[in-house]
Structure 1
Amino acid sequence: MRKWLPLVAICAGTFMLLVDVTIVTVALPDMARGLNASLADLQWVLSLYALVLASLVLTAGSIADRLGRRAVYLGGLVVFAVASLVCGLSPNVGLLIAARGLQGLAAAAMFATTLALITSSYEGRDRGIAFGVWAAVNGAASAAGPLLGGLLTDSFGWRWIFFVNLPVTAVALVLTALAVPESRDPQPRRLDLAGMASFTVGSAALVYALINESSWLFVVAAAALAVFVFVERRPNAMLDLSLFRTAAFPTLLVTAALLPAAAWAYWIYQTLWLQSVLGLSPIEAGLVFLPVSLTTFVLSIVVGRVMHRTSARLLIGSGMLFIAAGVLAQTVIDAGSGWAALLPGLFLVGVGAGLVLGPLSAAAMAAVPGPRAGMAAGAVNTFRQLGYALGVAVLGQVFRSGLDSDDLHRAYANALDRTFVVAASFAVFAGVAVFLFVRDGQRRGGLVPVRRMVSRWVSPTARS
C-alpha cells in the first residue's frame, strides 16, 4: 500500500487544481450577492484562473526541470493553499479576482510536474496503472466540480468552495514530502522568458478586451502575440513553430481551445438562469449538470480502453459534432421552460466530451516528432485552459447582447439561446476541421496508446 502514496499525493493536487476550474460555477450567484459583483466581475473570477494557468504551465515545466519537480510541486501546493485562503476571506471582488490569479499560478506549477513525478515514482506495470488512475482523476474532477460546489455553497456558504482546499493541500504536502522522490533534468532547456511574457500579455489583453469591451486592447493583444510568434523562431522556444508546418497539429490545438469554449464556457450563464430566474438552490443547480459531468467521466474511461485500436480522427471529429448537437438541443428553452429542458442536450455534450478528451492529447503527441511530444501535450493543456477563458469572455458578450427584454424570463431565454448557437458553432467548426485536416498515424507507427505516449514524452531523466 505504501508504494501508492506518491500517486495519492500527486492525484490529490491534480484533482484540486482541476476541480477549481468548475467548482466556482454554481456559487457565482451567491458571490454576486455577497460581494456586489457585476457580470464582468464574475467572468473574471472564472477566467483569470484558467488564463494564468494556460499562460504559465509550459514555463513552469521548464523551471521544474531546473529546480526539481518535487520542489516546484510542493511550492505550488503551498501557494495554492495561501491563495485559496485569501479567496475564502476576500471582503471584495477585486481581492477575490487577484487571489484567483494567484491560484492559477500555483496550479500551473502543480500541473506542469504531475506526469513527470509519476514517471519518477513508478516503473513498468505500476507506471501504467498510475497513469490510468491519474487520467480517471482528471475526469472525476470535471464531473465533481458543479456538484461539490453546490453542496458546499448550500451547506456552508460560497467561501467554503475555497476553504475546502486547505485540508486537501495539507494531506498532499505531507505525502509529497515523505513519499515522492525528487527529479530534475541535468541538461534543462533555457527558460523562454520572452515567449512567456509576450504570450501572457497577449492572452490577458485579449480576454480583458472581450470582457470589458476595450477596443484598444485588441491592438495590444495583436502586437504581443506578433512578438510571441517572432521570438518563438529562436532555438529553445517555449513552442516550436516548426510543428505548425503540417495542418494536423494546429488543427488539434484549435480543437483543444474550442472544446471547453463549446462544452463548458456557457455554464456560468446557465447557472445564472437556473438560480436567479428559476430559483434553484446551488446544490439543485449542480445536479442539473450531473448528466454531462457523469457521462464525460464514464465515457472517458471507456474510450481510454479502446482508443489505441480506434480512429482518433473519428473519435475527436464525431465528439465535437456530438457537442454541437447537444448545445443546439438546449436552444429549446423559452420563457416558460424549466431546468429539465436542458437535460437531453447536456447528456449529448457529455457524450461528445467523453469521446474527445483522451484522444485529443494522444493525437497531438502523435502528430509531431517524438522528441517534441512533451511540448505538444503541454500545448494542448495550454490551449484548453486558454480556450475556456476566451470562451467565457466571448459568450459573455453574446449573452449580454441577448438581454433585450424587460421580462426577466424571456430575456434570459433569448440570451441563452443566442449563446448556445455561438457555442455550437465553435464545436461544428472544430469537428469539420478535424475531419478535413487530421489523419490517423501522423507519425510512423500510427496513433499509439496514451500510456505509452505519456511515458515516451516525459523526460527519461525524470525516472532517476
Structure 2
Amino acid sequence: MIIFRGLSGIATAFCLPSAVSVITASFTGKRRDFAFAAMGGGQPIGFSIGLTLGGVLTDSIGWRWGYYLSAILNTIVLAISWWGLPSSIDNGIAGEGVASMSWAQKWQRVKTEIDWIGAVIASASLAMLSYVFAAITGSQSTIRQPSSITMLVTAFALIPAFIFWVGRQEHLGRPALIPNSLWRNKIFTTICLAVFLTWGTFNALETVLTFYFQDVQKLSATETSIRFLPAPISGALSNVAMGLLVHRIPANWLVVVGCTLSLAAPLAMVFATPTSNYWSSGFLANLFNPNGADALYTISNLLITSVFPAKTQALAGGVFNTISQIGKSITMALVAVLAAQVTLKASVAEKHSPDALMVGYRATFWFMFACILATILLSVWGLRGIGTVGHKKRD
C-alpha cells in the first residue's frame, strides 16, 4: 500500500508541472485564465467527489471498488492524454524540439540536464518526513519509537545538505533541482507559503469533518458522503468565478477574499456540538472550505507563468506542487496529534465518547482558523501591488 501510494505521488509530480507547461504553450488570453481555473479546481473538486463516492461505495458494492474505479478512470485519462496532448512543447522551431530528437539524444538530456543527486537528497528527506507524519497520524506514540526519531533527525539533517548542494550546483552553472535563487522572488515565496497553509487546511478540514460525521454524529459512510456534496459544487462555482474575474480584479484581493470566505468553514464547526443541525455547521463548512484553495491555486499558476520565463515555469510548478503536498502531510499530522492530545486531557471521562472527541476536534478547527488567518495576513503583505495576473487585452 505504501509503495503504491508513493507511485501515485510520483505520477502526480509528473503531471502537474507538465500541465503548467502545456497550458502555457497551448492557450493565450482569457482561454488561459479559464484553463488554469479549471486545472486549479481539479484537485479540490476531485478530492471532494472522491470522498463522496468513497462513502457510497463502502456501504454498497464495497470499498475495493474505489480502487477499481480509480484504475479505470486513470486508464481512460491515459488514453485521452496519449491522443490529445502534444508530444513536444519546446520552442516549436523545426528540428529543435523534443519530438525531432532520437531516443539516444533524449536519454542524454535526461542524464545530463537533471540534478539526480539533488533529487535523491530531496526525495529521501521528503519520504522519511512523509512516512513519520503518516505514522503519527495513525498513532501519536509512534513518534517515540527509535526508528521514527532516527528518520526525523536524518530527514531534517538532509534539508541543509540539499540547500548546500543546489547552491553549489547553481554557482557552478550546473543543473540544480530547486535553485536557491528561486526563493529570492518574494511573490513566489509568498505563494508557496500560502499554498502550504491553505492546501493543508483544506484537506485537514475535510478529514476532520469525516470523523465528526461518523464518530461524533454516528452517521453511516453513505450519509457522511452525501453531506460533502456542497464542496464540489462550491468548488466548481469558485473556479468559474475565478476564470471570469482574474483579469479584472487584482490577484492579491482575489486571494484575500477567497481565504476570507474559507475562514467561515472552521468557524462554523467551532461552535458545533454532537447534535448540531447539518445546515448550521457541516453545510457551511463544506460550502466555504474550497474557496480559498481554488482562488489560490488559480492565481498561483497564473503568477508562475507571468513571473518566470518559459524554461523555468515547469520547475516552479513542480516546486509549487511539492510544497502543497508537504503542507498536506504536515497539517494532517499536526491536526491528528492536536485532536488526540486535547481529547486525552478533556474533562470527559469516556475518551471515545462523542463529547470527548468533540473537544479535540474543536481545537483542530481553531487551529485551522488560525492557519487560514495567517494565510490572509501573509497574502496582504507578500502580494500587495501585484495587480491583475490574467488576460488584460483582447486576443
1:123 deviation in Å? 6.9
1:273 aligns with 2:178: no
Which position in structure 2 is the counterpart of 1:102? 7
Tell me if the contact between 1:291 and 1:346 (Cα under 8 Å) persists in the aligned partners.
yes
AA paired with 2:357? Y
Which position in structure 2 is the counterpart of 1:326? 265
1:300 deviation in Å? 1.4
Q: Which runs of 5+ in 1 are unaligned?
A: 1-95, 453-464
In structure 2, the CA distance between the partners of 1:427 and 1:367, relative to structure 1 (3 Å rule), is farther
1:319 deviation in Å? 2.3
1:417 aligns with 2:358: no
Give RMSD over aligned pairs. 3.1
- Say which one has the larger Rg: 2
Task: Specify which of 372, 376, 379 is matched with residue 434 of structure 1.
Answer: 379
AA paired with 2:359? N
Q: Output the CA distance in 2 between the equivalents of 1:356 and 1:403.
A: 33
Tell me if the contact between 1:261 and 1:426 (Cα under 8 Å) persists in the aligned partners.
no
Q: After superposition, what is the alpha-carbon deviation per residue over 1:193-239, rounded to whole angstroms, capped at 9, x for unaligned?
A: 22222222222333344423244443222211111111121232122
Secondary structure, aligned partner of 2:130: helix
TM-score under structure 2 length normalisation: 0.78
1:195 aligns with 2:140: no
TM-score under structure 1 length normalisation: 0.67
In structure 2, the CA distance between the partners of 1:191 and 1:418, relative to structure 1 (3 Å rule), is same
Secondary structure, aligned partner of 2:265: helix
In structure 2, the CA distance between the partners of 1:217 and 1:125, relative to structure 1 (3 Å rule), is closer
1:172 aligns with 2:117: no
Secondary structure, aligned partner of 1:232: helix
Q: Output the CA distance in 1 between the equivalents of 2:303 and 2:27.
A: 24
Tell me if the contact between 2:20 and 2:313 (Cα under 8 Å) persists in the aligned partners.
no
1:258 deviation in Å? 0.7
In structure 2, the CA distance between the partners of 1:116 and 1:358, relative to structure 1 (3 Å rule), is closer
Task: Specify which of 295, 298, 302 is matched with residue 237 of structure 2.
Answer: 298
More contact order relative to length (CA 8 Å, sep ≥ 6): 2
Secondary structure, aligned partner of 1:309: coil
- After superposition, residues 21-100 of structure 1 pair within 5 angstroms as 96-100=1-5
Q: Output the CA distance in 2 between the equivalents of 1:308 and 1:175.
A: 30
Which position in structure 2 is the counterpart of 1:158? 63
Secondary structure, aligned partner of 1:289: coil
Which position in structure 2 is the counterpart of 1:288? 227
Identity of aligned residues (%): 23
AA paired with 1:197? V
Task: Specify which of 228, 247, 251 is matched with residue 190 of structure 2.
Answer: 251
Q: Output the CA distance in 1 between the equivalents of 2:24 and 2:309.
A: 21
Secondary structure, aligned partner of 2:114: coil
Secondary structure, aligned partner of 1:238: coil
Q: Output the CA distance in 1 between the equivalents of 2:29 and 2:251.
A: 25
AA paired with 1:448? V
- After superposition, residues 109-258 of structure 1 pair within 5 angstroms as 109-116=14-21, 128=32, 134=39, 137-138=42-43, 140-183=45-88, 185=98, 188=109, 190-210=113-133, 211=136, 212-213=142-143, 214-233=148-167, 234-235=169-170, 236-258=175-197
1:302 deviation in Å? 1.0
Secondary structure, aligned partner of 2:60: helix
